[in-house]
Homo-oligomer: A and B are copies of this chain.
Amino acid sequence: MEIQKIDLMQKDMPRKWYNIQADLPKPLDPPLGLDGKPVSPDALGAIFPRALIEQEVSTERWIDIPEEVLDVYARWRPTPVFRAIHLEKYLKTPAKIYYKYEGASPAGSHKPNTAIAQVYYNKKEGVNRLTTETGAGQWGSALSLAGALFGVQVRVYMVKSSYNMKPARRQLMATWGAECIASPSSQTEFGRKILADDPSNPGSLGIAISEAVEEAANRKDTNYALGSVLNHVLLHQTIIGLEAKQQLAMIDTYPDVVIGCVGGGSNFGGIAFPFLHDVIREGKKVKVIAVEPKACPTLTKGIYTYDYGDTAGMTPIMKMHTLGHTFMPPTIHAGGLRYHGMAPLVSAVLDQGLIEARAYYQKEVFEAGVLFARVEGLVPAPESTHAIKAAIDEAVRAREEATPRVILFNLSGHGFFDLNSYQLYFDGAMEDYEYPGEAIEEALHHLPLQNKA
């Protein structure tokens, strides 16, 4: 029997998050107000706790994980690293393929890594109610879980297309005691405006963010929590890569290729940044690949400029790869990747040549997901199938080049809530969306600061 599962003992779990802001060759451009001047961190105090605002701008390399957060992580962490030995055999590749399995969390994805931290800091600063948005439901579930564990009330604005496709996700949030609302909704001014223009609007992450931010900004007792994009969110996710590095070290292995899918960028940052640490500081050679859908090709087709994080334009503007904040991505099944923008940190490492990006069609990633399920057993979330597809392509390239290599990817979540999407794939009822070039072109006309960018 060959070892296929590498468990890190809980006592060896990382005690600090890694902050890549300490090591970026070129520092991040700051978020700006509409006047083109940097937003003071204090301005974010209306919707975020001070500790998270500090993490957002910190350039300290290692940030302590609070004992109370470790104590909750310990409910399921460390997550396992698996070797996909059966996929290797199927592909007849000389590559070794490893994956970190974040689907082992109670919410079924990597999202609780930051949800737990965010709810902890809010609670500590006296905030007992949070709003948020969710696409496929992974983030909303995670924040609902964290809310239950810390006794914080959670309201989730869920992108309507996913809300309708995934009733189990709503029921999961209810099981953890949270409230889940289809977005666009009549609960907010922005939601009502969208519905007035287009009652059948399927929603998007950008719209849901606007609704959640609007409510939090208007209610003193309520803060807002974001599941991706921001620096502090990616910081919390670095426990993924830190653990994975320790696990591979246990078998004297180091990856040549590191892969994650990207929507807002948090699971990718989580797996990738601890390896970029070694690239930047120790000159390690690692090929790091961010994988996105062709229907929402932020890194491969977007432009690197200042834009809003949400659709309504309520957030500060951030320097990032963007398709334009008014771009409405096609309703692909990987709902968590339907975002017009990208984490500024991920955008920066792409801009600075530390990573590469690629995009796939929907059907080819489902094909990869089904292959993975049938040879490895685990059914992946549609988002994660993007990483699988890239890992397969890298393994095939290794075969063609007859050169062994070690590939690590993040299996960010399981697909138990996405089985109707698999069924559509089997029924031949799944569409591929071509590059939505015209819609992006149009959206890019609505960038803020157009003359200054």
Give the interface of A toward B (CB within 8 A). Answer: 1-11, 13, 67, 70-72, 74-78, 82, 86, 104, 106, 108, 145, 148-149, 167-168, 171-172, 174-177, 370, 373-379, 415-417, 419-420, 422-423, 426
Question: Would you call A176 and B373 a contact (CB within 8 A)?
Answer: yes
Asked if A377 and B168 make an inter-chain contact with CB atoms under 8 angstroms apart, the answer reads no
Question: Within the complex, what minimum Cβ distance (angstroms) separates A426 from chain B?
Answer: 6
A177 to B423, CA, bound (A): 11
Known: A149-B377, A416-B168, A416-B172. A5 touches B426 (CB 8 A): no
Cβ-defined contact, A417 with B416, below 8 A:
yes
Chain B residues whose C-beta falls within 8 Å of the C-beta of A419 in the assembled complex: 167-168, 171-172, 175
- How long is the Cα–Cα vector from A1 to B69 in the complex, in angstroms? 9
- Using known A-B contacts A10-B4, A148-B374, A168-B168, determine if residue A175 contacts B106 with beta carbons closer than 8 Å: no
Question: 13 extra interchain contacts, Cβ-Cβ under 8 A, other than A168-B419, A175-B419?
Answer: A1-B74, A4-B10, A4-B74, A7-B78, A72-B377, A75-B376, A86-B149, A106-B378, A171-B419, A171-B423, A172-B379, A175-B370, A176-B373
Q: What residue of chain B has the Cβ atom nearest to residue A106's Cβ?
A: B377
CA distance A72 to B11 in the complex (A): 28
Q: Which of B74, B174, B176, B376 lies in contact with A2, CB distance below 8 A?
A: B74
- A416 and B378 alpha carbons, distance in the complex (Å): 15
Q: How far is the CB of A430 from chain B (nearest CB, A)?
A: 13
- Whether B374 lies near A176 (C-beta < 8 A) is yes
**Measured between alpha carbons, how far is A416 from B176 in the docked complex, in Å?**
13
A107 CA / B342 CA spacing, docked (Å): 34
Quick one: given A167-B420, A416-B168, are A4 and B75 in contact (CB under 8 Å)? yes
Q: Closest 4 A-B residue pairs measured CB to CB?
A: A171-B419, A106-B377, A7-B7, A4-B74
In the bound complex, residues from chain B placing their C-beta under 8 Å from that of A426 are 174-175
A211 to chain B, nearest CB (A): 24
User: Are B377 and A175 within 8 A (Cβ)?
Assistant: no
Report B-chain residues with C-beta under 8 Å of the C-beta of A415.
Answer: 175
Asked if A5 and B77 make an inter-chain contact with CB atoms under 8 angstroms apart, the answer reads yes
Contact A3 B74 (CB under 8 A): yes
Q: Name the one of B3, B177, B375 contacting A10, with C-beta atoms under 8 angstroms.
A: B3
Given A9-B7, A10-B5, A10-B7: A373 touches B175 (CB 8 Å cut-off) = yes
The answer for the CA separation of A260 and B294 in the assembled complex, in Å, is 48
A154 CB to closest chain B CB (Å) equals 12
A8 vs B6: C-alpha distance when bound (angstroms): 10
A373 to B178, CA, bound (A): 13
Partner of A75 from the list B104, B171, B176, B377 (CB cut-off 8 Å) is B377
Contact B71 A1 (CB under 8 A): yes
**5 CB-based A-B contacts, threshold 8 Å:** A1-B67, A106-B376, A149-B375, A167-B420, A171-B422
**Nearest B residue (CB) for A379:** B175
A123 to B313, CA, bound (A): 60
Instruction: Determine the chain B residues whose CB is within 8 A of the CB of A171 once the complex forms.
Output: 419-420, 422-423
Neighbouring B residues of A6 by C-beta, 8 Å: 10
Q: Which residues of B contact A416 (CB under 8 A)?
A: 108, 168, 172, 416-417
Q: Is the beta-carbon distance between A174 and B423 smaller than 8 angstroms?
A: yes
Once bound together, how far apart are the Cα atoms of A6 and B7, in whole Å? 10
In the bound complex, what is the Cα–Cα distance between A106 and B108 (angstroms)?
12
A174 to chain B, nearest CB (A): 6
